[in-house]
């Protein structure tokens, strides 16, 4: 059975960097006078030049990678932005391109994925609200709470000078899309419930048949009744996230055995989970208070437009009915015999 083995012959370690010794190594040649040994220096000469110690290719394209670290106190994204600004006016030679990889490249991939996840989450939330209320206007009003939470996140990060961490901050924003809408849903559902009761009480067909002052009174009263539950729910969520945001730690084992939890603040966990917790806290705090104002106001504006449109529609049809009745009376006066034949009087 024939087997192949890869055999590599190397010089001793102390001789590997000796060029004279390397080029004096003999090469065995076969000539007219038989086998002779000729040193390598007979066929080659040495010349020192700068070159690459390794040739790398990516997608069959020759590639050079330049690595750099970031000093303490500096942000990698800010440094990359400064480098990109400096290279804007630099004309690269033909067939040579450059791009930033490493942390910058990974953050770009994470951002694209999380933006898709955010879009998908908002689409699902929107679909559920549409099915629940069967109204596009009510859905749009509730979805404004998500935009308010986004504004709260960026405002909080700016005020407290916190960095926008791509992964955890975006995860917090995605979480907010499903958390803050509950306050808008609670208010909207209570508005609809009270309006349904008023419609049943007055015996009209829809909410748009109610008086505008009645709708306004219901909105104000519903906001007062739902104020406490909304604030308590948001406050509970915020207080529950504060230990995660500040990195509050304690030892469970020592607490159970010695009744001493050994509390501590900070650590590696706050560096990881802190951005997510603060994102939810900022967004939920800002959106909760504005939701109690924006949602009732927008619902009142939409209701006002619908009621006015309903009244114009009814008034126009009443006017058309009056015109039709007047036209019939005019035709009766002109052609009484024809109307008498078409509609004979009943016999006594």
pLDDT in tens, 129-169: 898 888 888 899 998 888 888 899 999 989 988 888 878 88
Record the tokens describing residue 215, joined without a space.
């709708």
For 21-76, the pLDDT digits (tens) are 888 888 888 877 778 888 888 888 888 888 777 788 888 888 888 888 778 777 77
Q: What is the C-alpha separation between 173 and 263, in angstroms, rounded?
A: 29
CB 284 within 8 A of CB 179: yes
How much is the pLDDT for 205? 78
Which domains can be identified in the chain, with CATH numbers? Answer: 107-308 (1.20.1640.10)
Cα Rg of the chain (Å, integer)? 40
- CB-based contacts of 234, cutoff 8 Å, min separation 6: 183, 284, 285, 288
Verdict on whether the full-model pTM lies above 0.85: no
Confidence of residue 348 (pLDDT cuts 50, 70, 90): very low
Measured between alpha carbons, how far is residue 139 from residues 136, 143, 152 in Å?
A: 5, 6, 21
CB 251 within 8 A of CB 262: yes
Q: What is the C-alpha separation between 155 and 188, in angstroms, rounded?
A: 26
């Amino acid at each position: 059975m024939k087997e192949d083995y890869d055999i590599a012959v190397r010089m001793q370690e102390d001789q590997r960097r000796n060029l004279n010794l390397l080029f004096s190594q003999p090469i065995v040649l076969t000539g007219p006078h038989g086998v002779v040994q000729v040193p390598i220096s007979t066929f080659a000469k040495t010349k020192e030049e700068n070159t690459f110690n390794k040739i790398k290719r990516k997608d069959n394209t020759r590639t050079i990678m330049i690595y750099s670290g970031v000093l303490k106190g500096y942000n990698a994204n800010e440094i990359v932005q400064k480098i990109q600004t400096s290279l804007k006016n630099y004309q690269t030679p033909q067939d040579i391109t450059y791009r930033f990889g490493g942390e910058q490249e990974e953050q770009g991939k994470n951002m694209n994925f999380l933006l898709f996840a955010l879009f998908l989450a908002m689409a699902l939330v929107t679909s559920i609200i549409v099915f629940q209320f069967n109204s596009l206007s009510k859905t749009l009003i509730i979805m404004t709470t998500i935009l308010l939470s986004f504004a709260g996140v960026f405002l909080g990060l700016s005020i407290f000078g916190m960095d926008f961490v791509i992964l955890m901050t975006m995860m917090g924003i995605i979480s907010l899309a499903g958390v803050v809408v509950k306050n808008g849903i609670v208010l909207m559902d209570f508005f609809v419930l009270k309006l349904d009761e008023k419609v049943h009480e007055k015996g009209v067909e829809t909410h748009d048949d109610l008086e505008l002052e009645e709708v306004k009174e219901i909105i104000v009263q519903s906001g007062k009744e739902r104020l406490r539950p909304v604030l308590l729910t948001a406050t509970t969520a915020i207080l529950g996230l504060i230990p995660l945001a500040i990195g509050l730690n304690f030892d469970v084992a020592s607490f159970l055995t010695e009744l001493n939890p050994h509390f501590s603040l900070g650590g590696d966990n706050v560096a990881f989970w802190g951005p997510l917790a603060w994102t939810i806290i900022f967004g939920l705090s800002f959106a909760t208070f504005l939701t109690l104002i924006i949602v009732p106001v927008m619902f009142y504006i939409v209701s006002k437009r619908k009621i006015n449109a309903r009244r114009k529609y009814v008034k126009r049809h009443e006017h058309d009915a009056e015109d039709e009745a007047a036209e019939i009376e005019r035709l009766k006066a002109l052609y009484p015999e024809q109307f008498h034949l078409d509609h004979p009087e009943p016999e006594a």
